[in-house]
Amino acid sequence: MSRRDLLRCLFAGAAVGGGSWLFGVQGARPILLGACTAAIVAAFMTVPAGHHPRWPHQPGSARGGGSAQVWRLANRITPLVTRRGGADAVLQNRLTRLAVARLARLGVAWTDPRAAEVLGPDVYRALTTPRFRPDLNELQRIVSAVENADTAATGGH
C-alpha cells in the first residue's frame, strides 16, 4: 500500500471519528469507529482495480425433465438428518407442493378424496399433519409415493 493510500485510510478514519464525536458519541467510541473505518477502507484498497471474484457454484440445470426442486429438497433433508426428529414445516410444504403438482398433472385436486387414494392414506396424512416429524424411511416412502402417483392413478399402466 502506498503512502498516499495510507493517508486516505487515516483521513477516512479521522473523518468518521471526528464526525461521530461532533454528533455526540462519547468516550472511546469515536476512536474505535475511526479505527474500524480506516481498517475497512484499507481492506478495500488492497483489492486490485477491475478484480471480479468468482460467483459461488450453483447447481447445474436438471436433465431429463427434472427441476431444481429435487436439489432444494435434498438441502432441506440434510439438516433434518443431523437434527433427528425435528418438525420441519418448510420440508412438509415443499413435499406437499411436489405432491400437489404431480396430482394436478393427473387431474386430481389436493382436496379431492382421490388424492389420498393416489398417494396412499398414510402419506396423505403425513403431508397434512400439523406436527411433521418424518424419519428417513418415512421421507423415502413419501417421495416414492409422489414419484409413483402416475402408476397408482392409472392402476399400474
At residue 21, the pLDDT reads 92
Task: Give the model confidence (pLDDT) of 131-150 as tens digits.
Answer: 777 777 888 888 888 888 87
Q: How far apart are CA 81 and CA 65, in angstroms?
A: 28
Q: Are 6 and 34 spatial neighbours (Cβ–Cβ below 8 Å)?
A: no
Reading the block at residue 137, the C-alpha cell is 424411511
User: CA-CA distance, 71 to 59, in Å (whole number)?
Assistant: 8
Q: How far is CA 136 from CA 35, 80, 114, in A?
A: 51, 9, 26
What pLDDT sits at residue 12? 93
- The answer to pTM > 0.75 is no
The SS3 assignment for 53 reads coil
Give the start-to-end residue ranges of the domains of the chain.
3-45, 69-154
Residue segments in the chain with a per-residue pLDDT below the cut of 70 = 51, 56, 58-71, 74-88, 152-157
pLDDT at residue 65, as a whole number: 47
In 23-132, where does DSSP find H-type helix? 29-45, 69-83, 89-105, 113-119, 121-128
Q: How far apart are CA 145 and CA 149, in angstroms?
A: 6
Q: What is the pLDDT of residue 70?
A: 66
pLDDT at position 157, please? 47
* Confidence at residue 11, expressed as pLDDT on a 0 to 100 scale: 93
Q: Look at residue 17 in the predicted model and tell me its pLDDT.
A: 93
- At 18 the pLDDT is 93
> What is the pLDDT, as a whole number, of residue 36?
95
